[in-house]
Amino acid sequence: MYIIDPTTNRIQPLQVKTFSELGLTERNHLQEWLANQPDALGEELLIIQKEFDGFDDTRERLDLLAVDKDGNLVIIENKLDDSGRDVVWQALKYASYCASLSKLQIIDIYQQYLNRHQPGTEAQTRLCEFLDTPDIEEVILNSGNSQRLMLVAANFRKEVTSTALWLLGQDIAIQCLKVTPYTLGDQLLLNIEQIIPTPEEQELRIGMSAKEAEEKTSNVLRKNRHPIRMEFWEQVLEAFHNSPCNLYNNISPSNDHWLSAGSGVTGCPYNLIFGQKFIRVELSFQRASTEENKLLFDHFYAQREALEHSFGAELEWLRLDHRKASRVQLAQEFEGYDRSNWPDMIQWLVEHMIRLENTFKEPLWSVIADLKRLMSAAQPTDLHAEHEDL
């Protein structure tokens, strides 16, 4: 890895270090870094426990336990300068132990973790947000033999990489990620690179797995909630067509728990949400840049009092620092799958979406027109340039 010096138009190598040279440890450093920044491993992961020891009749502890966006458990084993010979066997043991964990057990494990590190946070709520699912009843966790293995180390022995490649051939989801510390003066830098499988191989495998999973579950989904959602959205769209709101005029009903309409601003849709226990209207900030989403949210949050006065009620403001998107919403409790409630639910959605659009339409267009200036004001130019150089 090199640092670029734009003044001299030269590159300078960073100094490669070992963790032991730097006095860094697995538990107090590498594990803490990944627990607090799991997307450094190349994807969105939700850490649900660390130093997990909930295995019957053993005293073993796995380093980090996570959930991926498909609800699979991810066993993360960290080593420092050397992977050792037995890391694959160790991870496979933990995967076998975790294979029997039920959804309720996983929720309890995560709640224990949150009680220690984020008191007052509900595991069910965070899981639903992370998995983009409205109700915990619809969340599928740890299905079948879907457990995944992530091995993290500065160097991997040949017997480890050879075994990992063989396991991939047997459709065992395993990844090897090489972590390399560097120094730049007094700064410590870390590079994380996935070496098994290569990104191209992993993309192909994910695509094939997703197709197989879709084929296996499609028949079940058709028999339960999909037809109900389709029927509900058909009635909702009919009501919108007969209302002053034009947002959903060109939208078709779907099987999803959400129905989205463009606001006229890229990446800022208005959403209707249909859950088992509630319905919701929301304005979502989900542009390509996390920085833009947070900036838009902060801009409107600073005008919260005036916007809520215009809307006529208090709104729920969710910056969602742990996620890329942010949103402003209002929810109402209903027994969603009780069709006798649908007329009241539909009336509520139409009324409150009209109010939401009227509240944010002009302010949203105005701030987007001035977004470039706001971005520049929010981030000092010199600091931004420095980060680009690194």
pLDDT digits (tens, 9 = 90+) for 282-309: 999 999 989 999 999 999 999 999 999 9
pLDDT digits (tens, 9 = 90+) for 47-103: 999 998 877 667 788 999 999 999 999 999 999 999 988 999 999 999 999 999 999
Q: Would you tell me the crossing angle of helices 225-241 and 199-223 to the nearest 10 degrees?
A: 80
Q: For the chain, what is the radius of gyration of the CA atoms?
A: 24
Q: Is the distance from CB of 5 to CB of 11 less than 8 angstroms?
A: yes
Dihedral-angle region of residue 180 (phi above 0 means left; psi in -120 to 50 means alpha; beta otherwise): beta
3-class DSSP state for residue 47?
A: strand
Look at residue 167 and tell me whether its pLDDT is greater than 90.
Answer: yes
3-class DSSP state for residue 23?
A: coil
Residue 5: pLDDT band with limits 50, 70, 90: confident
Say how far apart CA 41 and CA 178 lie, in whole Å. Answer: 10
Which residue is it, tokens 């007094």?
186
Which among 67, 81, 73, 72 has a CA at the least distance from the CA of 16?
A: 81
What local confidence, expressed as pLDDT, does residue 276 receive?
87
Cα dist. 119→93, 115, 135 in Å?
31, 5, 22
The mean of the pLDDT values for the chain is 88
Task: Please compute the mean of the pLDDT values over residues 146-153 and round it to a whole number.
Answer: 95
Look at residue 375 and tell me whether its pLDDT is greater than 60.
Answer: yes
Look at residue 209 and tell me whether its pLDDT is greater than 60.
Answer: no
Cα dist. 267→69, 288, 359 in Å?
21, 7, 18
Residue 184: pLDDT band with limits 50, 70, 90: confident
State the pTM of this model.
Answer: 0.60
Q: Which of 184-193, 275-284, 356-365 is predicted least confidently?
A: 184-193
What local confidence, expressed as pLDDT, does residue 210 receive?
53
What local confidence, expressed as pLDDT, does residue 366 receive?
87
pLDDT digits (tens, 9 = 90+) for 8-63: 999 988 899 999 999 999 999 999 999 999 999 999 999 999 998 877 667 788 99
Which among 236, 242, 240, 283 has a CA at the least distance from the CA of 257?
A: 236
What local confidence, expressed as pLDDT, does residue 388 receive?
36
Q: Would you tell me the crossing angle of helices 290-301 and 371-378 to the nearest 10 degrees?
A: 100
Residue 223: pLDDT band with limits 50, 70, 90: low
What local confidence, expressed as pLDDT, does residue 369 receive?
74
Say how far apart CA 104 and CA 112 lie, in whole Å. Answer: 12
Which among 320, 339, 321, 341 has a CA at the least distance from the CA of 329?
A: 320
Please report the DSSP string for 201-224 in residue order: HHHHHHHHHHHHHHHHHHHHHHHT
Domains present along the chain, CATH in parentheses: 2-218 (3.40.1350.10), 225-376 (3.30.1460)
What local confidence, expressed as pLDDT, does residue 221 receive?
45
